[in-house]
Copies of this chain bind each other. A is one copy, B any other.
């Protein structure tokens, strides 16, 4: 069975940039090594190259435009993200929603480049829809719980269960991540027990005074 997965989204938080980005990436590597969990990080695009080259952790872009290289000023291509050294990308995060056609093009471009895709969704129905596109992961994040400190795995475990079932029905190869409000080892354990591969989270690690100790807590019950 594959190792549990934790992806830490740095968003555009000040606490996730510069020296703090380094500190969190280093913590991800250390706690990943200690625990056997896969702990990835998703820094802002301007720091993607730097983090990829300095830390031996899985690195994800926060967003990618599913276009081929060309006249797309201000866009981020899969090509650029790959050259920067990333393993994959978040796609359709709730703070950067895409059209269905763009999600499909992004997943296809990432897969074509041998990279991972993590498609974020907001409910059971969109999770099933995203799963038909064959991304590596679908990360289900009920928007009302993002950044709330209230874990989806405790507040609404049914949405996780139903999402896992929906994904298995349409495309059983797709792995599911639990997002929104995840902040403790117990949240992660519930998420894994409900059939998901792990979690996508942000503020509870990125804004923590000591990210390493939060990460240790997150993997403590696995």
Contact = CB atoms under 8 A, between A and B. Distances in A.
A170 B67 CA distance: 27
Contacts of A173: none
A62 B74 contact: yes
Contact of A77 (B44, B96, B123): B44
Contacts of A75: 12, 44, 95-96
A132 B132 CA distance: 8
A104 B80 contact: no
A19 to B, nearest CB: 10
Given A71-B13, A129-B130, A47 B44 contact: no
Which interface residue of A61, A73, A103, A104 has the most chain B CB atoms within 10 A? A73
Contacts of A103: 100
A97 interface: yes
Interface residues of A, number: 67
Contacts of A65: 12
Given A12-B71, A70-B13, A99-B97, A83 B46 contact: yes
Nearest to A43: B80
Given A71-B147, A126-B100, A80 B17 contact: yes
A169 to B, nearest CB: 8
Contacts of A18: 83
Contacts of A79: 12, 14, 17
30 contacts: A9-B73, A11-B71, A11-B73, A12-B65, A12-B71, A12-B76, A14-B69, A14-B79, A17-B83, A44-B75, A45-B45, A46-B46, A47-B80, A71-B95, A71-B202, A71-B203, A72-B95, A73-B93, A74-B93, A74-B96, A97-B101, A100-B100, A100-B103, A100-B130, A101-B122, A104-B122, A104-B123, A125-B133, A132-B170, A170-B170
